[in-house]
Amino acid sequence: MAAPKTIPPFHPISAPDYLPHDQLRELQSRRLIHMVKRAYEKVELYRNRMNKMGVTPDDIQSIDDIVKLPFTMKVDLRDTYPYGMFASPLKDIVRLHASSGTTGKPIVVAYTKEDLEVWDEVVARSLVGYGVTSQDIVQNAYGYGLFTGGLGLHGGASALGCTVVPISGGNTERQIMIMRDFNVTCCSATPSYFVHIIDKAHRMGINMRDLPIKFGVFGAEPWSEEVRHYIEEEAGIRAFNIYGLSEILGPGVGAECCFQDGMHIFEDHFFPEIIDPATGEPLPDGTEGELVLSTLSKEAMPMLRYRTRDITTIDVEQCPCGRTIRRIRPIRRRSDDMLIVRGVNVFPSQIETGILRVEGASPHFQIVLEKGADGLDRIEVKVEATDAAVDDTVRSVEQFQQKIQQSISQIIGLSVRVTLVQPYTLIRSEGKVNRVVDNRNK
Ligand code: ADP
Ligand code: ZN
């Protein structure tokens, strides 16, 4: 049974979510002033960069002055690998995590004891927003290890007093057995992995709707509204979005509330801005652009105006749940994921939407890019066949492929070739999924 769409009871840990505007700004200003002083004193990269711009910590008097600060980029973390961005001595650092990045050296991130407490708090605030309580049994299927997902969710769920099952990703049959035998009520995972869990349960003859699970906590990768619908229908749960990135913290930078309409950013700890990615100019709330985040309380590794490369909008309207902290629209696009096909920008999430808009289509797909004999790019989308879609006659296979083709083309404005493949033949992910095979430069 899915959790009902009611506003969950107030929990004191969430008090900062409801701070009156003036108090929130006052808190943000105070924290920013302190953070910038520390960053300037302790981190050479920040000091050099601010000196170059002619900005000193004294120029930062309130949160409005944040725009005077320099940006930080992923490459800065790479250039200072491994410990160059730390503002605390190693004796005060109690945890390191690393994100794979795309190439070369990983990005290392650090936490003091106080940083871990903030992390627990914001993940707990996320769970409270969904309606999770200390009564819930949380199966944490995010990967444990250097990836921030596993331990991040674990800490927050424990802080809230939930019963945590630290299963990590993988071994999907066992995941389902445990989910059933332990009466799990909440599962956290990447959305692509949860879709795989649903699929496996189906094959094991288990209807997830019959299990006590009510809540899903999904993040770490973009997912469409269509996938939410699919998961909620197939598993009989409510599927909630959680956002975060290692450079800032990990999961728990922002999360949906019971209204499932945008993610509240815990802006007493992480200050969001939107900028024009081309010029770096700040854009007003309500305008789409690149999300920039600054940590306000992080000790081990403060981040000044970190450019996330995630594309979103900050909502102008206050959420009906009563939280005063602002919301961002779900992130469907990350500049890193963008494919340029015949000069057109295409995001895998758009293809996912196109597929799932066709009734009965499978959420398991792969995008293959090739260069044709004419030198032009071609996109092929392989989609697994489903019983609902195909009755073995060639005609119905072709018709179904065409339907999906049209649906995708309508969204991306390019023609694509869709091929139905045998069920369960495409690679399944246990963490973040990679759906793209690019053979164009081979
Ligand atoms: P990496 O950069 O190696 O993927 P992270 O694990 O820190 O390392 O991933 C953070 C990124 O994951 C975010 O910048 C964002 O692009 C993506 N992400 C995280 N949560 C979500 C979410 N709920 N929706 C969409 N994208 C997300
Ligand atoms: Zn809300």
* The ligand 1 atom nearest the CA atom of 107: 3
> pTM here?
0.93
347 and 303 in a single domain? The answer is no
> How remote is the CA of residue 356 from the centroid of ligand 1, in Å?
22
Question: Which of 313, 332, 351 is the C-terminal boundary of a domain?
Answer: 332
Ranges 91-105, 122-136, 382-396, most confident: 122-136
State residue 57's pLDDT score.
98
pLDDT tens, residue by residue, 215-247:
999 999 999 999 999 999 999 999 999 999 999
The answer as to whether 59 is a domain residue is no
Between 154 and 99, name the one with better pLDDT: 154
Contact 89, 95 (CB under 8 A): no
The answer as to whether 265 is a domain residue is yes
328 and 407 in a single domain? The answer is no
Q: Which residues sit with Cβ closer than 5 angstroms to ligand 2, an ion?
A: 257, 319, 321, 323
Which residues, in sequence order, are CB contacts of 413 under 8 Å at separation 6+?
Answer: 344
Whether pLDDT at 335 is above 90: no
Question: How many residues in the chain?
Answer: 442
DSSP 242-291: EEEETTTTEEEEEEE-TT-SSEEE-TTTEEEEEE-TTT--EE-TTSEEEE
215 and 354 in a single domain? The answer is no
Lowest pLDDT segment from 11-15, 73-77, 99-103, 256-260: 99-103
Query: pLDDT-based confidence at 386, cuts 50/70/90?
Result: confident
The answer as to whether 184 is a domain residue is yes
* DSSP state letter for 221: S
Question: Which of 289, 314, 332 is the C-terminal boundary of a domain?
Answer: 332
Ligand 1 binding pocket, CB closer than 6 Å: 99-101, 148, 219-222, 241-246, 308, 310, 331, 334
Other Cβ atoms within 10 Å of 108 Cβ, number = 21
370 and 327 in a single domain? The answer is no
State residue 338's pLDDT score.
87
> How remote is the CA of residue 382 from the centroid of ligand 2, in Å?
37
Indicate the residue type of 112: T
The answer as to whether 147 is a domain residue is yes
Distance CA 375, CA 342 (A): 10
Whether pLDDT at 102 is above 60: no
The answer as to whether 43 is a domain residue is no
> How remote is the CA of residue 56 from the centroid of ligand 1, in Å?
32
DSSP 298-346: -SSS--SSEEEEEEEEB-SSPPTT---S-EE----EEGGG-EEETTEEE
Take atom 14 of ligand 1 and give the residue whose Cα is closest. 245
Take atom 3 of ligand 1 and give the residue whose Cα is closest. 101
The whole domain housing 382 covers 338-438
Take atom 4 of ligand 1 and give the residue whose Cα is closest. 101
Q: The sheet that has 417-421: what strands, in order across it?
A: 417-421, 377-384, 365-371, 436-438
The answer as to whether 47 is a domain residue is no
Question: Which of 305, 332, 359 is the C-terminal boundary of a domain?
Answer: 332
State residue 373's pLDDT score.
87
**pLDDT > 90 fraction of the chain, expressed in percent and rounded:** 87
Whether pLDDT at 103 is above 60: no
State residue 392's pLDDT score.
65
Contact 217, 153 (CB under 8 A): yes
Q: Give, for ligand 1, the residue of 119, 126, 153, 331 to mutate: max count of ligand atoms closer than 8 Å to Cβ.
A: 331
Query: pLDDT-based confidence at 333, cuts 50/70/90?
Result: confident
CATH number, domain at 401?
3.30.300.30
Strand partners, 97: 109
> How remote is the CA of residue 17 from the centroid of ligand 1, in Å?
23
Give, for 12, the enclosing helix (H) or strand (E): none
Nearest ligand to the C-alpha atom of residue 129: 2
**pLDDT > 70 fraction of the chain, expressed in percent and rounded:** 97
Lowest pLDDT segment from 92-101, 193-202, 270-279: 92-101
State residue 4's pLDDT score.
64
144 and 284 in a single domain? The answer is yes
Query: pLDDT-based confidence at 375, cuts 50/70/90?
Result: confident
CATH number, domain at 305?
3.40.50.12780
State residue 67's pLDDT score.
98
State residue 389's pLDDT score.
67
State residue 175's pLDDT score.
98
Distance CA 405, CA 400 (A): 9
250 and 378 in a single domain? The answer is no
State residue 104's pLDDT score.
63
Distance CA 280, CA 308 (A): 12
289 and 357 in a single domain? The answer is no
Take atom 2 of ligand 1 and give the residue whose Cα is closest. 101
> How remote is the CA of residue 103 from the centroid of ligand 2, in Å?
37
* The ligand 1 atom nearest the CA atom of 334: 16
Helix axes 191-203, 225-235, angle to 10 degrees: 30
Q: How many domains, the chain?
A: 2
Strand partners, 379: 369
Query: pLDDT-based confidence at 327, cuts 50/70/90?
Result: very high
Distance CA 244, CA 217 (A): 13
The answer as to whether 152 is a domain residue is yes
The answer as to whether 71 is a domain residue is no
Average pLDDT, the chain: 94
State residue 166's pLDDT score.
98
Whether pLDDT at 313 is above 80: yes
Take atom 19 of ligand 1 and give the residue whose Cα is closest. 220
Q: Give, for ligand 1, the residue of 245, 311, 349, 353 to mutate: max count of ligand atoms closer than 8 Å to Cβ.
A: 245
Task: Determine the average pLDDT of the residues in 66-95.
Answer: 96
pLDDT tens, residue by residue, 156-196:
999 999 999 999 999 999 999 999 999 999 999 999 999 99
